[in-house]
Every structure is written in structure tokens, then in C-alpha cells.
A and B are shown apart, each in its own frame.
Chain A
């Protein structure tokens, strides 16, 4: 029997490509299946959220301006890095939440889902664009463009696949995002942040906050520089709060609670389209 003391990890926030402690200097424990301490998590404050949105805005024009093919390469790179850490994800999922079989299944589905969206980056706009018939001498066409900064509220019931299924279509479409992780499974979000950090995703494209949803959602929902909110948490009060506050700058709001993210149907380019704006151009011709 070893006398060694366990080193419990203190997971940090991931903001603007850097791992930082919370401005609040508050922490809370993440527990495993047996209610034993697993890690310490930062309790993000509204100022951390503000910093994350700032970082997301700073990264937005570069990310949306990249070639779609390059975004695909980077998403694929993420999948590669996750594959390399497959065992770690399985072990963490098993310890924190689920059975061994489910953990393996969830990790593999998550990796495959990244590859799926990596393929869509340079194809969805061809699929959802159109040339429109108009009764005037104009060449009229519509194309989808990223909406900007997307706030993501992660679900509690799918620790890894839920995160991936929400983040991948958002960034595949050229948006940047601020993710509020599940309160229960923040440590898995932190491991995912480490993967993102080491896989060519530019700083600020994905920002991950751990903490209490009740602290953060009101400020996310009222933030004038956030363009859309995707919420997979099922708290009716929090959903109401998002709906009420989103009118301030007419955010796009989508609720995904109750979705079974393990299913094949839960990966479609329509999730990309949920955070796209359609731009229509009238180009004079033949005059």
C-alpha cells in the first residue's frame, strides 16, 4: 500500500486559448458516481463570462474568414487528438457518470461526430444556398453566414457527446462560442478543453466555463454581444430567463433538452443551420 497522497486536479476555465482561474476565486468539487471528490472546478463569475465573450468576439472574424476546408481540417484534427486520449475519456466518463460500455460507446460516437461535422464545413453552404427566381433583371442568390457568437448551455445527461454535438456544428459554421458546462460533469469539459487547446483551434473560438448555471445564464442571455443561445439544460426557470432576455438584441434561441445525443439522427447539417443567417444578394444583370 502506497503512502502517496492523491493529487486532485483543479480544472481551470478555458478563455481565449488560455487556461485561467476564475476571477471569483471560488471553487466547487466535482463528484464521481460514488459521491467522492473527483476534481475541483472553478466557479466562473459574470466577469469570466464577459472575458469569454470578449475573447470569442476577438476570434470571430478570423475564424469565419478562414477557408471552410481549413475549418474542416481543424475539426478533424480535434477528432485525432480525442482518439489519442480515448482511454482517458473512457476512464473519466466511467468514473464520473456511466458504465464502462456506455463510456466506450459515448467516446467513440463523440469522435465520429467530430469527423462528421469536419466533412460538412465545406459542403453545407452549397446545400443550403439557393439561386432565386425573381421578376426583375437581377441575379438573386442566398447564402448562409455565421451568426457570430453562440452561447452554449451544455446538457447534464450526456457529459461528452452532448458537448461535442453542440460545439461541433457551431464552429463548423464559422461561429465562435462560449460554453457553460454541465454543473455535474465540468471535469470532462475541462479535458475536452485540453484537447481543443492542442488541436489547432485558434484561441477564443471555443471558450469553456465551469460553474453554476444560475450565476451565468442571466448574464449570457442579456449580453448584447452574444448572437445566439443554444440551451440543452432542462431547468424551466432558466429556459424562461433565456427566452425573456433574448429579446434585447434579438438573439437566436434554440432549446435542445430531451434530445438523445447518442442517436445517429442527432448529427445533421440542420444543427449548423440553427446558427446561420441567410444573406440574400440582388445583383443587377442584363441592363
Chain B
């Protein structure tokens, strides 16, 4: 039963921000910290989405995913690599047999301004090239003028074009203005068939913030209670240090439960976060503060 998206689920802004402030005071120590750091690393989508991305850059990122830190074989691999469609084939070949997913942004990323047909073609191209996860952007222009039907239909159409590939729907919360809108866009995306909902493209500031993520996690919880389907969450952009990543994990655990502490249901879209996690893991193991000089460029 699809709800009426003209109805707004009101979000208590002060309540959300106060709750987030509480999560920020949490401190995780010792074995739990090491566990959480490794978990966070397993949830990272190593991302490069620049106009200047070359095959060399993509290959380098793939090697970083395969061999995060050669000194310690216990360190887990990341969840996925996230690139533009024209680099998918190279990433798939480089990561063959590793179990690391290849995600591709598509649908006229990052603006979403394109004919629907050509956006769908882009998705099909990325899937044919071997991407098993597609990160799409919604039409914010349509959403903001209240054309929720258009947004719902485009997500449904792109979901169909994905075939077996998982679909992550980028809401670009930095452009949605209010928490009410974030909640509404999350609901539309989930009912239209999203496997994941994702905060941002990383091209707009603010990118992922904890309050926005909490609103989206609340939407996922309500959707799960109503339908029994588990939708994943991916905050992306602006998460650079391990401490913030751990705060996100605490928030996920306390909003959705331990089931979501799994790379199949929670991801970080980030590039510099992976190295900070690695440095913290080594710090935790050796007791020595680390230097980026001794970690490969991600």
C-alpha cells in the first residue's frame, strides 16, 4: 500500500538535533573500538568521482581496496568501489574474484538533469559493463515543485533498468531544504523500490550530516515496520575521520538495531575515511600514533 506523498510526516528538528548531540558524546574504547573500526572499514565505498579520473586513478583505487595495508593481513577489505560508468569495466576486471562490489553512479550524476530515456540508457550501460550496484540521483527540480509522482516513476523505471543490480537512491539532502522533505524523499525512494537510500552526491555542501542521516534512518525503520523489507542506508560525503564514523555506527545501532550493522545494509561513501580508519586500527593495535606517511594513497 503506497502512502499519499502529499501528506507530510512532520520531523521534530530540535528533537533530531538533540538526539544527534547525544550520539556525539559517546565514546567507544578498546576491543569494542577495534571491532567498530574494522566494521566501518568493511562498510566503506571507496569513491572517486572527478572529471579528471583516469584509468590509472581507478586502478590505484582498486589496489587500495584489495590491499588496504600490506603489513597487517587481518585488516578487512572495503565493501565496494564507486566510479563513473566509463570506468566500471576496468574496475570489474581489476577486482575480479575479490568479492568487492563495483558501484557506478549513473542517471546524469550529479545533477540528474537529463532526459529520462538517456538516464535509463546510462544505467543499462553501467550494468552491462558489470556494475552490481547503481547509485542514481533523483530529480530534485521535480521533487521541490511537488511533482512526487514524477520522482516515484523515475525511480521505479530505473529500478527496472537495473535488473539484478542493487539500486541506491541519492536524495541530495543538501538541496532538499527541510527535514520534512528528507523524510518524504526517503519514503518515495523506498516505496519505489530502492535497495539503499543515500544522502548526497558529495558535490554539494552540506553533504552527509548526522541529523539528516537520523531522519533517513527513522524512515527506514518505519518502512521496515510497515512492510517487513530492510532498506540500506548510505551517508556520503564529508565523513573524514574515524570518530565521526563510529558516531554514525552508534546511531544506526540505536535506531535500527544490530541487523543494520552490516555492509549489506549500511555503507559509508568516502575516500579519505578509509585511510583514517586504517591509521586508527594500527594505532589501536600498536598503541602508537600513526602518520599518513606510512599509508598508501587511497
Where the two chains meet, the residues of A that have a C-beta atom closer than 8 Å to any C-beta of B are: 50, 53, 219, 222-225, 248-249
Contact = CB atoms under 8 A, between A and B. Distances in A.
Contacts of B292: 225
A50 B292 CA distance: 14
Contacts of A248: 288
Interface in B277-298: 287-294
Contacts of A50: 289
A219 B287 CA distance: 9
Contacts, number: 24
A157 to B, nearest CB: 30
B289 A53 contact: yes
A223 B289 CA distance: 5
B287 A222 contact: yes
B35 to A, nearest CB: 21
A175 B287 CA distance: 26
Interface string B177-213: 0000000000000000000000000000000000000
A72 B43 CA distance: 49
* Residue of B289, B290, B292 ringed by the most chain A CB atoms within 10 A: B289
A225 B287 contact: no
Interface majority SS on A: helix, strand, loop or mixed? helix
Nearest to B288: A222
Contacts of B291: 223-225, 249
5 contacts: A50-B289, A223-B289, A225-B292, A225-B293, A249-B291
Interface string B159-188: 000000000000000000000000000000
Interface string B254-298: 000000000000000000000000000000000111111110000
Contacts of A222: 287-289
B293 A224 contact: yes
Contacts of A223: 288-289, 291
Given A53-B289, A223-B291, A224-B290, 13 more contacts: A219-B289, A222-B288, A223-B288, A224-B289, A224-B291, A224-B294, A225-B290, A225-B292, A225-B293, A248-B288, A249-B291, A249-B293, A249-B294
Interface string B82-106: 0000000000000000000000000
B226 to A, nearest CB: 45
Contacts of B288: 222-224, 248
Contacts of A224: 288-291, 293-294
A64 to B, nearest CB: 15
Nearest to B282: A224
Contacts of A225: 289-293
Contacts of A219: 289
Nearest to A49: B289
* Residue of A50, A222, A225, A249 ringed by the most chain B CB atoms within 10 A: A225
Nearest to A223: B289
B295 to A, nearest CB: 10
Nearest to A220: B289
Contacts of B294: 224, 249
Nearest to A53: B289
A248 B293 CA distance: 13
Contacts of A53: 289
A126 B84 CA distance: 50
B27 to A, nearest CB: 12
A198 B292 CA distance: 31
Contacts of B290: 224-225
A222 B291 CA distance: 11
A249 B288 CA distance: 11
A94 B289 CA distance: 39
A53 B290 CA distance: 11
A72 to B, nearest CB: 29
A180 to B, nearest CB: 15
Nearest to B279: A224
